[in-house]
Structure 1
Amino acid sequence: MKGPAPLQRVVYVVSLFPCWSETFIVREIAALIESGVDVRVLSLKPASESLVHDDAAVLLDRARHPRSLFAAGAALLRTTATRPWVLAGILARIVADSWRSPRVLGKSLAALLRGLEHAAWLRTFDPNLIHAHWATYPSTVAWALGRLLDKPFGFTCHAHDIFTERQLLARKIDEAALAVTISQYNVDWLRQHVAGDGAQQLKVVHCGVDMAHAPWRPDGREGNRILAVGRLDPIKGFDTLVAALALLRERGVDVYCRLVGSGPLESALREQARRQGVAERIEFAGAQPQDVVRRWMREATLFALPSQVAEDGNRDGIPVALMEAMASGCTPVSTRVSGIPELIEDGVGGVLVDPGNVDALADALQRLLGDAALRRHLAVGARERVEHEFDARVEAARLRGHMQEVLHVA
């Protein structure tokens, strides 16, 4: 018997690369490359982001994007000719899983076509593992390519791809050489709702912060500036934050909030702020480059992210923005939702309140704004927590170890 084959080449399948909000994937890939793994990226969508972070830009020459319908059609014909029964089985499983949702079915088939477009290149590159981030279309493509190319596949699942989508999810967990998720909360939830005892094979690998580029600045934060960062989406709870700011205004607390991000709720949040009399106290800063957000984290008095469960069941995983704030020395205030308590221990590395509780959020913000000593105490605990459990390089090394484990050969 031979020992395990060395992990040399990995292909990542993602929906869009580069993607402004998925800095955690970039960090993971960069750390794997730094460790000696040749990582390539298969993006299912053409590059379209107007804002590209510097650390993603340096990986662009490793990324492959869709080319043309002609190329995709030709790849489909080649696959049909060479692996007809395998392809038929893949299509049958996709249809059986999603026929009740024509939108999901159509997008799954389109994603598969875009993946097949790169099948010839994949054979030449000969990856040890095909790994996807998100348990939706990217992992469907990774699963299909793994079957077609006789390669092990893995995936990392996060939040909406568990709580609201669940595309072939039980099958993917069962058939993956490596099934990963980002919190113990997710493992427990999947065991209860999706995979039963099969969830035991899930590995927990946290998203993380690049601690080498996360200078800690707990001091010099006197004032009343609150920073909030995230997509303007129901799961972030920014409507609760606006209401809490209005309550603080009624209490005579002078506070200013900078809200970084864009999304479908921007107009509604602006109108809420106007209606509740705090429009002049909230800056809607839109999406910003990473270096700008980091600078604002080093300046803000508090970081607020009052995550909540949306009506459709969607919720955060463990928001990377919270990790980054904690690494910078900015004391966080968040909620007891999903995996967030695995990151923030209430009263040790920040403050947690119940989701949707305006009074509790306002009380926590007011208390911390008025107590610099407490803020610093919590900032110390926050930094220690991120250093010990959410260092991107450490977590990437953990993932690399799991990837290595699946490569035993006869």
Structure 2
Amino acid sequence: MTVSRSTPTPDRVLYLVSLFPCWSETFIVREIERFVERGVDVRILSLKPPSETLVQKRAGALMDRVIGPRHPLAELPTVLLEVLRHPIGVLVVAAQLLLGLWKQPAALGKSAIAVWRGLAALPAIRRFDPQWLHAHWATYPSTVAWALSKLTGVPFSFTAHAHDIFVEDQLVAPKLADAALAVTISRYNVRFLARWGAEQLGERLQVVHCGVDFAELPENLDARADDHLVTVGRLDPIKGFDTLIPALGLLKRRGVRFRCTVIGEGPQRRELEAQIAAEDVADRVALVGAKPQEAVRAALNDATVFVMPSVTTPEGNQDGIPVALMEAMATAGAVVSTQVSGIPELVHHERNGLVVPPGDARALADALQRLLGDEALRHRLGLAARALVAAEFDARHEADRLLAQIGVRCVAPEGLVHAR
């Protein structure tokens, strides 16, 4: 479903996120931008104060829409007044949090803090008078959206992504039951959500992809290096970079010419640096840290092959569908990835990229070597990759689909639903 002149849309939507701006969540920025472009007034409730040193320009342009937390002591009078205003509602929320999360004390404590911040923001939210609440992630942001919906009567929805359902269960079942709309990013996730009864939601459960700004990713086939491997992602076990480094060691020992740029930062840096030294590829591999979006785009356009070696960790954590992988494909880049989560819904083996088993360094090396040595194959796969992203992963189209789904649920015959 897409937005048309006949599709109703809300006037005011409140987004709830853990942190805004967040360097790795450009997909949320694109979604909000599209809502604003469609005439929706958007505010953003950030549950954490700004903390990142690297802020994307497009996120910075939305900062005047952000409602952020204050010091807890400054929030105390507001929270007490809101508790007095909604005593039964707050008691119900607190009881459900306790019953649902008592076996997860850390999650319970953080949820209590998140709900506190939601209560503290209620005066500002009430002035904004949202007609819909939408949260990204099935953890703390959706907990606050769920709680605020109970207190105000404003309908809510949330988007489930990856770790928030693969390794967490923060009241997912009651959130699915109470949400006016539940969204997730892949068909794989729809099947995964069945453990919480999602199959009973019918049309209230929708797949809306995290898309890319296709218009800003022109096709690029010929102006690429002939030996440059690129990957983008947080230096985290789910990304499989500890499989990539041994694969690069294999390529070097086979005499394959290459250089590899790893864009991103995270807790695995020291481990990866040790691997790079052990595989003797320090002269070929650069861990360049987090970079602005412009630098990422430049690297994608230079890449001979983009590689995303995602894995599933022993705890069950895994990627959703990596946005960087979509961006590489949108530029008509040749890609190699793995059979993890929703990735095969984006990368179809031998049709628009190559897919290998996760954690298999030899298979990864073989695929990289094959693409590095075959320009015609890279071009064929790259063009097919761009076509698929245009059809199914354009951020503007996907945001339109989400807005349409919200619109048909938000608008009733007697008019739009308003906060009480």
TM-score range, shorter chain: over 0.9
Q: Following the alignment from structure 2 to structure 1, what is the Cα–Cα distance between the partners of residues 99 and 401? A: 35
Aligned partner of 1:210: which letter? D
Q: Following the alignment from structure 2 to structure 1, what is the Cα–Cα distance between the partners of residues 7 and 405? A: 12
- Which residue of the partner structure matches residue 86 of structure 2? 83
Matched, 1:264 2:267: yes
Residue-by-residue CA offset, 1:177-212 (whole Å, 9 max, x unaligned): 111000010001111x22253354310000101112
Quote the offset at 1:221 in angstroms.
2.2
Aligned partners of 2:162 and 2:317 also within 8 Å: yes
SS in 1 for 2:159: strand
Residue range with higher mean Cα deviation, 42-51 or 62-71? 62-71
| Partner residue of 1:185 out of 185, 188, 198 | 188
Quote the offset at 1:75 in angstroms.
2.2
| Partner residue of 1:67 out of 70, 73, 76 | 70
Query: Which consecutive residues of structure 2, in runs of 5 or more, have no partner in the other structure?
Result: 1-5, 415-420
Quote the offset at 1:255 in angstroms.
1.2
- Which residue of the partner structure matches residue 219 of structure 1? 222
Aligned partner of 1:233: which letter? D
Matched, 1:111 2:132: no
Q: Following the alignment from structure 2 to structure 1, what is the Cα–Cα distance between the partners of residues 263 and 400? A: 31
SS in 2 for 1:165: coil
Change in Cα spacing, 1:337 to 1:118, as seen in structure 2 (3 Å) is same
Query: Which consecutive residues of structure 1, in runs of 5 or more, have no partner in the other structure?
Result: none
SS in 2 for 1:406: helix
Change in Cα spacing, 1:103 to 1:35, as seen in structure 2 (3 Å) is same
Aligned partner of 2:197: which letter? A
| Partner residue of 1:142 out of 137, 140, 145 | 145
- Which residue of the partner structure matches residue 315 of structure 1? 318
SS in 1 for 2:257: coil
Q: Following the alignment from structure 2 to structure 1, what is the Cα–Cα distance between the partners of residues 360 and 278? A: 19
Residue-by-residue CA offset, 1:210-258 (whole Å, 9 max, x unaligned): 1121111111324111001000111000011101000111111121100
Q: Following the alignment from structure 1 to structure 2, what is the Cα–Cα distance between the partners of residues 88 and 48? A: 32
- Which residue of the partner structure matches residue 330 of structure 1? 333
- Which residue of the partner structure matches residue 98 of structure 1? 101
- Which residue of the partner structure matches residue 281 of structure 1? 284
Quote the offset at 1:71 in angstroms.
3.5
Aligned partners of 1:4 and 1:408 also within 8 Å: no
- Which residue of the partner structure matches residue 237 of structure 1? 240
Residue-by-residue CA offset, 1:70-91 (whole Å, 9 max, x unaligned): 3321222112211111100000
SS in 2 for 1:242: helix
Aligned partner of 1:66: which letter? P
- Which residue of the partner structure matches residue 252 of structure 1? 255
Aligned partners of 2:329 and 2:386 also within 8 Å: yes
SS in 2 for 1:220: coil
| Partner residue of 1:198 out of 192, 197, 200 | 200
TM-score (norm 1): 0.97
Aligned partners of 1:170 and 1:195 also within 8 Å: yes
Q: Following the alignment from structure 2 to structure 1, what is the Cα–Cα distance between the partners of residues 65 and 295? A: 26
Aligned partners of 1:98 and 1:104 also within 8 Å: yes
Matched, 1:397 2:407: no
Matched, 1:171 2:174: yes
Aligned partners of 1:205 and 1:398 also within 8 Å: yes
Percent identical among aligned pairs is 51
Aligned partner of 1:249: which letter? K
Aligned partners of 2:332 and 2:384 also within 8 Å: no
Aligned partners of 1:180 and 1:204 also within 8 Å: yes
Aligned partners of 1:26 and 1:55 also within 8 Å: yes
Aligned partners of 2:198 and 2:205 also within 8 Å: no
Matched, 1:290 2:288: no
Aligned partner of 2:172: which letter? L
| Partner residue of 2:211 out of 205, 208, 212 | 208
Q: Following the alignment from structure 1 to structure 2, what is the Cα–Cα distance between the partners of residues 236 and 85? A: 44
Aligned partners of 1:173 and 1:198 also within 8 Å: no
Q: What pairs up with 1:50-61 in 2 under 5 angstroms?
A: 50-61=53-64
Q: What pairs up with 1:110-129 in 2 under 5 angstroms?
A: 110-129=113-132
Aligned partner of 2:98: which letter? V
Aligned partners of 1:187 and 1:199 also within 8 Å: no
